[in-house]
Structure formats: structure tokens, C-alpha cells
Structure 1
Amino acid sequence: MKEIKAIIRPAKLLDVTTELHQIEGLPGVTVFEIKGFGKGRAKNAKDKVSYEMVEFMPRIQLEVVVDDAMVERVVTIIQKYAHTGNTGDGKIFVSTIDDVVKIRTNERGIAAI
């Protein structure tokens, strides 16, 4: 199993999630509203947010845990539909998940996602 975390522009959330929703068997997606900065430090950004004299960019973080066979399709969709070609398009992180436990049923592993 793999966990895919993607940091994308808020304006691309609908495009990305609409396409992810089309994947049969996708267990679900968790969405967070976040703030951060990258190498550019949000210096020239129009939609930056200041907090304690530090400038941040509003972003969306998506998280999904999938079977290994589904990873490339999910990553490809996120990359395609989150892309604008401009600085600050975001990042996709793929990590290995050792185990998952479904609290309600006590199922483990693939059955739990």
C-alpha cells in the first residue's frame, strides 16, 4: 500500500477531485486547507497570506492511501489536472504504508482501505 500526499493550488481542487472520483475502487480522498511557502518564499505572489511577518501561500493538501497497483494512475491524474506550468504548482509525495486498521471493523491491510 502507498500513501499519496499532494500539495496543489486551491483553484485546481475541483479539477483534480473530479478526475480522481472517476477511478473505480478509489477508497477516498482527504482534503486539508494549508498554508506554506516554497523556494520562492511567496515574495511576488498575489494571493499570499501574512502571519507574524512571514508570507505564506494558501494551498490544498490531498491524501489518499491506495493499493500499489493504483499509484501511477492516481499520481498521473493529480499531476495532469493540478498543472498550470507556473511556479507554485505543488508537489506529490508517495510513501509506503506498512499497515492500516479500520477502527469500526478491525480489518487490517488492503481490506481496511
Structure 2
Amino acid sequence: MKKIEAIVRVEKLDEIREALKEIGYPGMTITRVEGHGQQKGLIEQFRGREFKVELIPKIKIEVVASDVDADKIIKAITESAYTGNIGDGKIFVLPVEKAIRIRTGEMGDAAL
């Protein structure tokens, strides 16, 4: 099993959710986060003054999937999050040792 973590633009969330639902993965965890990568923040203007916003709002999407489905989930997220501009985000893939459904006690892929 794999845990796929994607940190993406806030405005791309609906597109990504729809893309995941279309490939059969409607379940996910979504967290609002802040941070910056290579862009190191933005310069904004407010009432004629410039100020630097160092931590940019992003969305973190987490999906745990079977090994065979991981690549199609990554492809769906990549295609729907892409704008071609700096700040599109990152995807991290981690191994999952065990998954357990609390209600039924199912384990492994059956728990997903």
C-alpha cells in the first residue's frame, strides 16, 4: 500500500477531487496548510504598500491506496493540479505498512 500526499493550490481542490472520484477514489483527507517552496513567498500590495507573504495557503490531500492504483492516482492529481506556473505543488509517495478498518477489523487492502 502507498500513502500519496499532494500539496497543491487551493483553487485546484475541486478539480482534483473530481478527477479522483472519476477514477474510483472519492475518499481522501484534506488539510489546509501554509508554506512555500522555491518561490519563497509572494510580494502583495495593500493600500499602496508592498509587503511579503512568506507562507502561502495550500491544500494537502492524502490518499492511501493499493500499490497497483498508486500510479493512476498520481497521474490524476498531476494532470488536474497542473497550471505550468511556479507553485503548482508537490506529490510525495510513502509506503504504508498496515491499514486497519476500526469498525470491522479488516486489514490491508480490504481496509481501504
TM bracket (short chain): 0.7 to 0.9
Letter paired with 1:85: G
Cα distance in 2, alignment partners of residues 87 and 54 from structure 1: 15
How far apart, CA to CA, are the structure 1 residues paired with 2:18 and 2:36? 26
Percent identical across equivalent pairs? Answer: 40
Conserved 8 A contact 1:7-1:61 = yes
One-letter amino acid matched to 1:97 = V
**Secondary structure of 1:63 counterpart:** strand
Structure 1: runs of 5 or more not aligned: 47-52
State which structure, 1 or 2, has the greater radius of gyration over its C-alpha atoms.
Answer: 2
CA-atom RMSD in angstroms = 1.8
Deviation sequence 1:22-72 (CA, Å, 0-9, x none): 113x261111111111122104368xxxxxx97200000000000111111
2:6 aligned residue:
6
Equivalent runs, 1:52-63 vs 2, <5 Å: 55-63=54-62
CA contact (8 A) 1:29 1:63 kept: yes
- Counterpart of 2:93 in structure 1 is 94
* TM-score normalised by length of structure 2: 0.87
- TM-score, scaled relative to structure 1: 0.86
CA contact (8 A) 2:41 2:53 kept: no
Structure 2 stretches of 5 or more lacking a match?
46-51
Distance in 2 separating the partners of 1:54 and 1:81? 26
The total of aligned residue pairs comes to 106
Structure 1 consecutive aligned stretches of length 4 or more whose deviation exceeds 4 Å: none
Q: What amino acid does structure 1 have at the position aligned with 2:7?
A: I
More strand by share: 2
Matches for 1:1-113 after TM superposition, within 5 Å: 1-24=1-24, 26=25, 28-44=27-43, 55-113=54-112
**Residue equivalent to 1:49:** none
Amino acid at match of 1:39: Q
Contact 2:43–2:53 (8 Å) recurs in 1 = no
Match of residue 50 from structure 1:
none
